[in-house]
């Protein structure tokens, strides 16, 4: 009987350790981009702007490496693209129970270069995250996840759009208030 209880406890501990180590891979997605950091970011921005019918707008472009460079440090390129949809944020911001989720607004997609010389896109698993907060948020975040998938769908046959730099928050610092973002 002691062996059965010990085995059960060891099984539970193993599952908890495995879940803890794999949680990051469930909560975040990383995909390789065939383009440079700036071109990938520009293509994502264009894809976001193409979703204006769903309330999406760009609310910022941040370069978190700039402050490091200003301090004399080196880091590989990183750009943070911030976007928000009033269609999705509105219901959550109007409800006291879900207003705390404003901490996740605006949606941020990161584009960065790794030491292997390749460019990557990172984003939160919005669908999984939403399910953790009940059916209302789950439904909203499932739609956000579907839109995010379209943001990172690249058509290499199309020419690269220009990177939009003159937005609130550009350059790693606080910028002017966003006109239509979250």
We report the CATH number of the domain holding residue 160 as 3.30.310.70
Q: Which two tokens stand for residue 150?
A: 């379209």
In a domain, 6, yes or no: no
CB atoms within 10 A of CB 31: 12
In a domain, 151, yes or no: yes
Measured CA distances, 131 to 28, 104, 125, 135 (Å): 14, 14, 10, 7
Predicted local confidence at residue 166, as pLDDT: 76
Instruction: Return the exposure string of 97-134: e unless at least 16 CB atoms fall within 10 Å of the residue's CB, then b.
Output: ebeebeebbbbbbbbbbeeeeebbbbbbbbbbbbeebe
In a domain, 177, yes or no: no
Each residue's pLDDT, cut to its tens digit, for the chain (182 residues) gives 666 565 556 556 555 454 444 445 578 999 999 999 999 999 999 999 999 999 999 999 999 999 999 999 999 999 999 999 999 999 999 999 999 999 989 999 999 999 999 999 999 999 898 888 888 899 999 999 999 999 999 999 999 999 999 765 444 444 334 444 56
Give the structural domain span for 112. 28-168
* Overall pTM surpassing 0.85 (yes/no): no
Domains in the chain: how many in total? 1
CB atoms within 10 A of CB 21: 9
**What are the backbone angles phi and psi of residue 33, rounded to the nearest 5°?**
-105, 145
Eight-class DSSP state of 145: H
Predicted local confidence at residue 20, as pLDDT: 45
In a domain, 13, yes or no: no
Distance from C-alpha of 106 to C-alpha of 166, rounded to nearest angstrom: 17
Placement of tokens 């406890």 in the chain: 9
Predicted local confidence at residue 174, as pLDDT: 40
Predicted local confidence at residue 18, as pLDDT: 45
In a domain, 22, yes or no: no
Predicted local confidence at residue 39, as pLDDT: 98
In a domain, 107, yes or no: yes
């Amino acid at each position: 009987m002691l062996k059965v209880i010990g085995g059960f406890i060891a099984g539970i501990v193993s599952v908890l350790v495995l879940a803890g180590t794999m949680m990051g891979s469930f909560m975040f997605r990383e995909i390789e981009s065939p383009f440079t950091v700036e071109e990938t970011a520009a293509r994502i921005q264009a894809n976001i702007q193409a979703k204006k019918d769903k309330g999406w707008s760009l609310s910022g472009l941040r370069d978190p490496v700039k402050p490091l460079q200003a301090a004399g440090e080196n880091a590989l390129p990183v750009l943070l693209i911030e976007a928000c949809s009033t269609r999705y944020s509105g219901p959550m911001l109007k409800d006291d129970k879900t207003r705390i989720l404003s901490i996740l607004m605006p949606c941020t997609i990161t584009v960065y270069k790794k030491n292997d010389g390749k460019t990557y896109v990172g984003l939160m698993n919005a669908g999984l995250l939403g399910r953790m907060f009940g059916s209302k948020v789950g439904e909203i975040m499932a739609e956000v996840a579907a839109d995010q998938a379209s943001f990172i769908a690249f058509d290499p046959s199309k020419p690269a759009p220009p990177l939009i730099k003159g937005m609130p928050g550009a350059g790693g610092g606080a910028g002017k208030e966003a006109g239509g973002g979250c």
